[in-house]
Copies of this chain bind each other. A is one copy, B any other.
Amino acid sequence: MKLYQQLTEQIATLIREGTLRSGDRAPSIRQLSRNRGASPATVVHAYELLQARGYLEARPRSGFFVSSAWRSSQDEPTVSQPVRRVAHPDVSNLVFEVLEAMRAREVVPLGSAFPSPDLFPLRQLARALAAAVRRMDPWSTVEDLPPGNTMLRRQIAQRYLIAGARVLPDEIVVTAGALEGLNLALQAVTAPRDIVAIESPSFYGCLQAVESSGRRAVEIPTHPRYGVDVDELERVLDRENVRACWFMTMFQNPLGATMTTDSRSRLVRLLASRNIPLIEDSVYTDLYFGKERVKPAKAFDRKGLVLDCGSFSKTLAPGYRLGWVAAGRFAPEVLRRKIMTSLATSIPIQAAIAHYLDTGGYERHLRGLRWSLQTQQAAYLSALERHFPSGTRWIRPDGGYLLWVELPASVDAIKVHRLALEHGISIAPGPIFSARREYRNFMRLNYGHPWTPKVEAAIRTIGRLIRECSR
């Protein structure tokens, strides 16, 4: 790593960890260049990078300061305190109302769950697809039935190895996106009426899967920065007959929270001691902003109890619908469920992604994508600073493209959602992320779309609507 890169990462870490706080002046360029044996130009280069990533901001004639978007902890959203009682979720209708609102091309998709399709190498993928189908062996229509294309599963297994987890191709079942994988995993490890521990707030797809399959949910308090509260989980496990956990321990949707490596490892140990499977939704794993990728729960799994559900939809190939489950000891059952549910995952699509991964370029694309998301995050957060009223709070996530915003207590986010739609803007109101429609005054924003004046105007409008609704 070059010196300017080292400096960039070190200062970013100081800011992320809170050593340098919002509004603090950055170390002077002269001082730093002297201490580190770097030329002033090198330091300036590092600072400009940090500025582009939203860590620093330049003030005319004053130098560099930690960006005001880096909030101190008293400005963070409240930690969830869900009712820790078992419930049948009942949220689908509201979710569909909100999802439907995002379909129109002209709507500013702040409520969307997808990043902009323009961020992906669609042209290279099209080439890979064309090349893969041209050379497709007709027999592959039989051979690539579940568990799926062998080359693809080997490449996925190699990616786990890089992330620090040992996963054999044999335990990987290819699925039509992560959502199918998560549903299959849930069916494989639980029966109707079983209790599943979920985060609060949690991804609405999780709530819907629990609801539509007749499982019951118990919601665990989840910190907007540090994720699932393992102590609380342990108390719930003592009390309820929990048969599985469905968590997203990295860049959680909607919070953006990431458990520390220690607490994730503790979580896996706790569940192992009670033989409880962990369904991990890891679709954002590759979208980390830090120096290193986050170690997934699977890396600590000694008993094959972790079912890691991944996907290329958020990182490479939106709309292709290609995901997988690294299902540990449950692989045979997930495989059977896959065959019964949809027989197979599209075979040309499997071949295309395998071909793309094989011919390289994925890591380079991922670096670019992370850079874009981080840069967009900075722009969005700085607009939030400008346009949202005081009393709104958020945390800057370390990856992904989703942001959890707490509004003043009097604001009804569903009302904001409906008003915003009249202005051609979508947001994701808090209640769609709760089995009991809690989080009335929260919303999730998507910064996965390039920063444009139209987006800025949309954020200004949302800010105005929040103010109006809080009166």
Taking Cβ atoms with an 8 Å cutoff, the residues of A that contact B are 92, 96, 99, 102-103, 105, 112, 114, 116-118, 120, 122, 125-126, 129-130, 133-134, 136, 138-145, 176-177, 179-180, 183, 187, 192, 205, 208-209, 212, 214, 318-322, 336-337, 339-349
The closest CB in chain B to the CB of A117 belongs to: B138
Q: How would you classify the secondary structure of chain A's contact residues: helix, strand, loop or mixed?
A: helix
- CB distance A183 to B141 under 8 Å? no
- CB distance B342 to A180 under 8 Å? yes
How far apart are A332's CB and chain B's nearest CB, in angstroms?
9
How far apart are A204's CB and chain B's nearest CB, in angstroms?
10
**How long is the Cα–Cα vector from A177 to B347 in the complex, in angstroms?**
12
The closest CB in chain B to the CB of A131 belongs to: B130
CB within 8 A of A176: which of B105, B116, B129, B342? B342
- CB distance A133 to B136 under 8 Å? no
| Interface CB pairs A-B, < 8 A, 9 | A96-B336, A103-B142, A129-B129, A176-B345, A176-B346, A179-B341, A214-B214, A342-B342, A349-B349
**How long is the Cα–Cα vector from A269 to B121 in the complex, in angstroms?**
52
The closest CB in chain B to the CB of A344 belongs to: B321
Contacts of A133 in B (CB 8 A): 122, 125-126, 129-130
How far apart are A427's CB and chain B's nearest CB, in angstroms?
17
- CB distance A141 to B114 under 8 Å? yes
- CB distance B129 to A348 under 8 Å? yes
**How long is the Cα–Cα vector from A320 to B209 in the complex, in angstroms?**
26
Contacts of A318 in B (CB 8 A): 141
